[in-house]
Amino acid sequence: MRRLPIDEEVTGDELDKDVRQELMSLPKTLAGDVAQNLVMVARLLDEDPERAYEYAKIALRLASRVPSVREAAGFAAYGVEKYAEALAEFRTARRMTGLQHLWPVMADCERGMGRPEKALAMAGEPEVKRLDKAGQVEMRLVAAGARRDMGQPDAAVVTLQSPELASNSSQPWTARLRYAYADALLEVGRESEAREWFAKALEADQGGLTDASDRLAELDGVEFIDALDEGAEDTDGTKE
């Protein structure tokens, strides 16, 4: 089996304790190998999804009966837009655990496969009521995206209107929800409201999860010029 290099400082102990508990069903050496590959998946998922996918495939070959491995493989496949593969992994992980937290991303896989109607149907299933608040917000975001996929932008706006959107409390999902609402408003031509919600998204976005600042600047007609661009003009209107 092909092996990929593991960063020297990666021990596998970086994993969540529940994942480490799952891996205890494996022989110790094997568990260590799987854990290191899972850590590499988590580290690379955002910055280098192709490599993350490669590490996930190794972990999957080593321990396909571990739910967390199937889930990690699902997210890695999702990251490289292999939606059918991701959905299969998520379904397997859900079947193994009986948990519902993957329901929104499963629905988003349906969107990725060009089946927004299926994603929208999933938003109305009983499983949604068993999600925590973050999961329910995520499901709402997916449903709104499905509405837009189906050419129903006004319905997307309505879908995102919720107590969570109106709340002043700041949660990990607040910025993304406000941003999605602003973007939906902009699509239906409600520009002044969109600007207001992009500003609210920026206020809540402590981790830089969105490009709300860029969208605000765009709406305000602010143009950023690369200072290193040799063709950029000086402030007096002349080129350097």
**Is the pLDDT at 75 greater than 90, yes or no?**
yes
**Sequence-ordered alpha helix ranges (H) in the chain:** 17-23, 28-44, 49-62, 67-79, 83-97, 103-112, 116-122, 133-149, 153-160, 163-166, 174-187, 191-204, 212-219
How far, in Å, CA of 159 to CA of 140, rounded? Answer: 7
Question: Quick one: how far is CA 192 from the chain centroid?
Answer: 28
For residue 213, the model assigns a pLDDT of 94
User: Whole-number mean pLDDT of the chain?
Assistant: 92
Task: Give 233's strand partners.
Answer: 239
Q: What pTM did the predictor assign?
A: 0.87
Cβ contacts of 112 within 8 Å, gap of 6 or more: 78, 81, 83, 86
**Is the pLDDT at 230 greater than 60, yes or no?**
no
How does residue 240 score in pLDDT terms, banded at 50, 70 and 90? very low
**Is the pLDDT at 157 greater than 50, yes or no?**
yes
Percentage above 70 pLDDT, the chain? 92
